[in-house]
Amino acid sequence: MEGGSMAALARLQARLSGLREEYYRRNRSIDEDRKIEYKAAVKIQSWFRGCRVRAYLRHLNNMATFIQKWWRGYRSRRYFLKTVKTAYFIMKMNFYNEVAVRIQKRWRGYYVRKYIHNYYALKKYLEAVSMNNEFVRNELQQYTEMKENEEKRKDLEKKEKEKQYQARKMHYLLSTEQIAGIYNSPFRKSPDPMELLLRKSKPLSHKRQQMKSPFTSELYDWPTCRRPPIFSTAEPLPPIGRQKPQGPFRDTAEVLQQRYKPLEPTLRVAASINSPLEKAREEMKMEEWRNRVHDNEFLPFSSYHKNEKYDPSICRSGRYGQETYGIKHFREVQPKKWIAGKDFQTVSPSIVLFEKLGKTYSRTGQIV
């Protein structure tokens, strides 16, 4: 191998100068082109990179638009939905309100007409009021008429009394058998009514008219204080000194004592008219009445013994059973010793009263 390589080296060395030239030439041409190539490469690269970035940006933009599109779409769809819902809601509410108003209107109208401003009730009430008024007016009218009548009657009575009093006063004008009075003119057919009245009435007696009690009249007049005082005039002044009356009179005190002496009855008059026996009875009755606690006699309650358990007596509750005596028979009966089947005839006469028992009677008491 060594040989071979030596040869190669020799060849190379032979060619070295050419090579060097060629090398230089080649480098030179390369250097000459290098700038152009570099620029071209940069251009290519920049274009490519620009393309790539633009594409990327475009892609990004597209993506953003896409996202925005979707987002906006979503949002506005949501908004729209909401708006529609609201509008629907409002529409619904309006409808409901309208309906509610309609219902309320009806109800309120009904309610007010029925309970608050019931026209018919009002009309009825007013009619009732006017009827009541009419009634009250009638009543009051009657009342006043009654009052007026009473007044008239009183007046008439007063006048009548006055007339009668006058007739009594003028009784002396009565005509006699012989002389006709002034009311009984002989030229007339019938006498004057006054004459008739005179005939009926009695003349006034000569007795003085009874004085009115000063007390009552004064009481009546007093509050006005217009009339002169009566209470001072009626009483006489207190006597200052009194003379002894003339004549053989007894002493005043003695007379008065005799006049007003107390009653002194005799023993017989003073005693009671009831007999002492009756009195004693009365006394006893009173005593009894006093001593009794209360009037009603004490009676045991009928229901008092109801719940009481019956306690058998010793002979009835014996160990050997009950004796029949007192329950089934009250007399010892020994049928074995009987001779005949029926009772003996009684010897003593029957009591008449008992004979009549259970029979029918006639009216007169005979047995039929």
Task: Please state the closest distance from residue 238 (CB atom) to another protein, in A.
Answer: 8
> Using DSSP, how many helices (H) and how many strands (E) does the chain show?
9, 0
Task: Please state the closest distance from residue 229 (CB atom) to another protein, in A.
Answer: 6
Please say which residue, 222 or 338, places its beta carbon nearer to another protein: 222
Q: How big is the CA angle at 285 (ends 284 and 290), to the nearest 5 degrees?
A: 95
Please say which residue, 32 or 148, places its beta carbon nearer to another protein: 148
Closest to 327 (Cα-Cα) out of 312, 305, 308: 312
Please say which residue, 186 or 228, places its beta carbon nearer to another protein: 228
Please say which residue, 225 or 299, places its beta carbon nearer to another protein: 225
Task: Please state the closest distance from residue 144 (CB atom) to another protein, in A.
Answer: 5
Q: How far is residue 161's CA from residue 167's CA, in Å, rounded to a whole number?
A: 10
DSSP-assigned letters across all residues of 168-221 = HHTGGG---SSS--TTS-TTSSS--HHHHHHHHSPPPPSSPPPPPPHHHHHHHH
Please say which residue, 46 or 138, places its beta carbon nearer to another protein: 138
For position 112 contacting another protein by CB under 8 A, the verdict is no
Task: Please state the closest distance from residue 262 (CB atom) to another protein, in A.
Answer: 29
**Using CA of residue 106, residue 112, residue 117, residue 120, what is the dihedral sign?**
positive
Task: Please state the closest distance from residue 73 (CB atom) to another protein, in A.
Answer: 57
**Cβ proximity of 171 and 201 under 8 Å:** yes
Give the amino acid at 304: Y
Q: List beta partners, residue 361.
A: 367
Please say which residue, 192 or 221, places its beta carbon nearer to another protein: 221
**Cβ proximity of 50 and 56 under 8 Å:** no
Q: How far is residue 89's CA from residue 97's CA, in Å, rounded to a whole number?
A: 12
Residues 200-239: x/- map of binding to another protein (CB under 8 A)?
A: ------------------xxx-xx-xx-xx-xxx-x-xx-
Near another protein in 36-75, by CB under 8 A: none
Interface residue with another protein, options 126, 156, 255, 286 (CB under 8 A): 126
- Phi, psi torsion values for 361, nearest 5 degrees: -125, 155
Residues 127-146: x/- map of binding to another protein (CB under 8 A)?
A: --xx-xxxxxx-xx--xx--
Interacting residues toward another protein by CB under 8 A: 122, 125-126, 129-130, 132-137, 139-140, 143-144, 147, 151, 218-220, 222-223, 225-226, 228-229, 231-233, 235, 237-238, 240-241
